[in-house]
Structure 1
Amino acid sequence: METRSNHVLVGAVAIALFIAAFLFILWIARVDTSDRQKYDIFFRSVSGLARGSAVNYSGVPVGTVQEIRLMPETPNFVRVRIEIDEGVPILQGTVATIASVGFTGVSIVELEGAIKGAPAIDEPGPYGAPVIPTKPGALGQLLDSAPQLLERISTLTARLNEVLSPQNQDSIAGILKNTNTITAAVASRDGDIAEAVTEIRATIAETRKTAAALAVLADSTSKLVDAEGKPLVADLRKTLQHADTALSELEATSRAARTGAEAFNAHTLPEVNLLVGDLREMSRSLGAIAAKLDEDPAGALVGGRKLPEYKPDGDRNR
């Protein structure tokens, strides 16, 4: 009787210890699926990712990877089921990427990019859980661009082979030789170059002094123009005003002289022409009298021949 009771007691203690160990393991593993949210993520590649891999939200651990499945209907995608602690804000704008941890090759799922005030991602997807969209990570982008990178490296290698052909190598060797010659020539003229640099510096210093003197001269010229130029301009304006007045008077005098000349041409000039004609006629008559006196002085004085009577043109017209 006592032996049977001892066995029952030992069995009860063993069962109690087993249950306690199981509960302790559950507590250590924090396996509590009732308070976790499930989400699906569709990746093109899940290199380094495995069941139990961590899920971080902006670097903070918030869950684990529970399942990784191939999709027979769409083999270019892999479905990853994750479980996240309740209360983590999986909102619209949240994206998932696969990030590597150090150089061990282990990867984790990184969540980021939630928009404040946006609604939660809670619409069930094709497998019953909401779907978090993906964004290519640094490793994914590198792997996607690897073919293009390799092609560019191959093209660069081919071009380098063309550049480094034997003929081009000879040309490069000649260029390097000429460069060495030029360098040696420049080194041999080190003293001349130093002297030329010194002269250039002296020229620059003189140029600066000349520029300063020109600035002083310009300042003095400006002051002179301000001090004496303004009165001179005022006198010049007065002179121009007097010249304008004189020109106006001269124009008036010219108009009056033009009027007198027109009157002279109209009235006085014809009278002068008549007078000149009378003087010419008188000169002819006096010439005739002088000729008569030369021929017959006595008859002319006594009155042997009657001289023609002189009548001016004015009396002829009467």
Structure 2
Amino acid sequence: MRNYSISYVTVGVFVTAMIVALIVTLTLIAGRTGPRDEYRVLFDNVTDLKYGTVVRYEGFPIGTVDKIVPVYENGKYRFGVMISVQKDWKFPADSKAGIRASSFLAAKTIDIGGGKSADLIAVGGDIPGTGAGDMFALMSGLAGRVGALLDTGVVPLIEQLKTSIKQLTETANSQIGGVGGDVRGLVANASAHLDTISASVTELTAGMQTNVDQLHKILSDGNVKAIDQILANLDRASLNADKTLAELNALSIEVNGVAQSIQAMVNRNAKNVDKSTADLEYILRAVSQNIDAITNNLEGTTRNMNEFSRLIRQNPGLLLGGGSPAADKGLTPVPGGQ
């Protein structure tokens, strides 16, 4: 005997699984999985936008349209498009949203262009919207404006031109006789001054020929060779300057090396220099403390040397025989002498 209940259960499980798979697939296609953030985009025209329209950021799909809410402000209607995008998606403060179509027959999408601002639009905030890129709407608007221009501008302008041309023709016909007389007078005046004009032209030509001859002299072969020689000398001078600059750079490097060597030597002998300075300070202190005694001794020594020099001048024999010279008794007075 067949068990029909098992077949019904299998079919029911299969149908239920297919229904669940269909729901999951539709959810994935709609992009409604996972946590979402909501924003509002304001447009003046929402042609072809509806629930589920894809929202892209620089071409990358990030969410969909939830609903469209009309907003009346400043005497006209605008449309707030509520969008839900991936959680924690960052929009710079200068981002702009527009209605775009990737191809001629493709469905409309909301394309958000990323800005360069470091500030971000808060979750739930407004993203500025730009005009819709609908080619047919633009062409229709352009056609209407061209028609209005033809009706209000071009046709009246043509009529005005017709009237002006007619008036100009009448004026020219009435004044042609006077113009002819003026032309004849002008021709006669030109004929009278033709000789003067010819002489001026001849003088001008002669002056130009003189200038050309001077220019030929300036650009003679000798001057051209001299200029070539000057340019060659300038080239050699430039090469010499480059060599000198290279030598100066090398000398600068050597001077820097010498300075570094001197600095290293000073650093190595810093302790010895400090010690020598301390010794010199001690010597100067000792000399300053005993300078009075040294001065007195020098003064006594100087006096003794002066006395010694005086004695030698009086009796040079002291250097050979020694002893003190006899006292000078002077002259003996003569008795009864005057």
TM, length-normalised to structure 2: 0.41
Larger Rg: 1
TM, length-normalised to structure 1: 0.44
